[in-house]
Amino acid sequence: MCELLGMNCNVPTDICFSFRGFTLRGGQTGHHTDGFGIAFFEDRGCRVFLDYQPSAGSPIAELIRNYPIKSTHVIAHIRKATVGGITLANCHPFQREMWGRNWIFAHNGNLENLPALRQRHYRPVGTTDSEQAFCLILETLRERHPEPPGSGDLVRTIVEVTRAIAGHGTFNYILSDGELMFAHCATHLHYIVRQAPFSHAHLVDEDLTVDFADLTTPEDRVAVIATRPLTDNETWTAMAPGELTVFKDGAPATFPTGDFE
C-alpha cells in the first residue's frame, strides 16, 4: 500500500518539515520504494515532481526537502506498487486540466473491476487502477457539469462518484483543484490543523523538532493530511471510513459519503 500526504493552508506555506518525515518512509523508515511524487499549486499554476526511485534516496526528493516552495495546496504520494509496474507513468500524483484549472489526484488502496471509462475527455496514460479512478471522477464531473459548478454542486458530485468507486475496493485519496482539497478515507487517513498558539512538533520518522511559532504569523492556519500521523507529540484526527473531508484555507468540513442526499 502507498502513503498519502496533503497540505492545505490559508497562506502559502512550505512543506519541507512534513515532507522530510514522509519521504523517509520511502525506503528508510518504510518500504514504499516504488516511486514518489509531489504537486504544488501556486495560484493557478501547478508543478509536479515525480520519480520512480525510492523517495528516501531520490535527488529530486532531496531538492524538495531543502527548497522551501510555498504553496496553499500540496499533494504528495509514496508508492508501493500493487497494480501497474514501477514506471514514471504510474507514479502519483496524476494531473489533468478541467474547466481551465489543474486537478491533482493521489490514491492509496486497491480497486478492482472499475466501470469502463467513456473516454470522452480523459484516458489513463499509465496502467494503475488509481489513474483510472481519477479519470472516472473527472469524466463524471465534466459530463454532469459542462461548466464549472458552484462548490455545493461540486462537492455533491464528488461525494456521489466517490461512493460509487469506493464500492470497488479501498479508496483513500486526496484530490485538489487548487481551491478546495478533498480527502476521502476508506481505511486510514489522519489530519491535523495547526493554528495559533503554535508550538513544537517532533517527527515520528526522524529525531527532528520544529517550533512553528518561529515560522508563522498568528493568522496562519495549516491543515496537514497523512495516511499515518507524521508527528508524535501532537493530536491528529483519525478520519472515519467513508468520510470525505473538504479543506479550504486550512479548515476542514466533513461529509459522510454514505448518506449525503
Q: Which residues pair with 256 in a beta bridge?
A: 243
Among the residue ranges 18-26, 121-129, 210-218, 246-254, the one whose residues contact a second copy (CB under 8 A): 121-129
Q: Which is nearer to a second copy, 97 or 153 (CB)?
A: 97
Task: Determine which residue in the list 107, 124, 136, 224 makes contact with a second copy, applying CB under 8 A.
Answer: 124
Burial class (CB within 10 angstroms; exposed 0-12, middle 13-18, buried 19+) of 25: buried
Question: Going residue by residue from 4 to 33, which x/- string records binding to a second copy, judged by CB under 8 A?
Answer: ------------------------------
Q: Within 13 Å, how many C-alpha atoms sit on residue 11's CB side?
A: 9
**Contact between 42 and a second copy per CB under 8 A:** yes
Nearest in space to 94 (alpha carbons), one of 142, 32, 50, 41: 50
Choice among 2, 9, 91, 135 that is catalytic: 2
Task: Determine which residue in the list 28, 95, 157, 237 makes contact with a second copy, applying CB under 8 A.
Answer: 95
Q: Which is nearer to a second copy, 100 or 150 (CB)?
A: 100
Task: Determine which residue in the list 80, 96, 145, 202 makes contact with a second copy, applying CB under 8 A.
Answer: 96
H or E segment at 248? strand 243-248
CB 185 within 8 A of CB 243: yes
Query: Min. distance of Cβ 107 from a second copy in angstroms?
Result: 17
Query: Min. distance of Cβ 67 from a second copy in angstroms?
Result: 5
- Round to whole Å and give the CA distance between 35 and 45: 23
Q: Is residue 2 annotated as a catalytic residue, yes or no?
A: yes
The alpha-helical segments, DSSP class H, found in the chain are 16-24, 59-66, 129-144, 151-166
Among the residue ranges 20-28, 40-48, 217-225, 235-243, the one whose residues contact a second copy (CB under 8 A): 40-48
CB 79 within 8 A of CB 126: no
Task: Determine which residue in the list 99, 210, 248, 260 makes contact with a second copy, applying CB under 8 A.
Answer: 99
Contacts of 224 (CB under 8 A, 6+ apart): 5, 6, 7, 18, 191, 192, 194, 230
Residues that contact a second copy, how many (by CB under 8 A): 33
Binding site for a second copy (CB under 8 A): 42-52, 59-60, 63, 67, 87-91, 95-97, 99-102, 121-126
Catalytic residues: 2
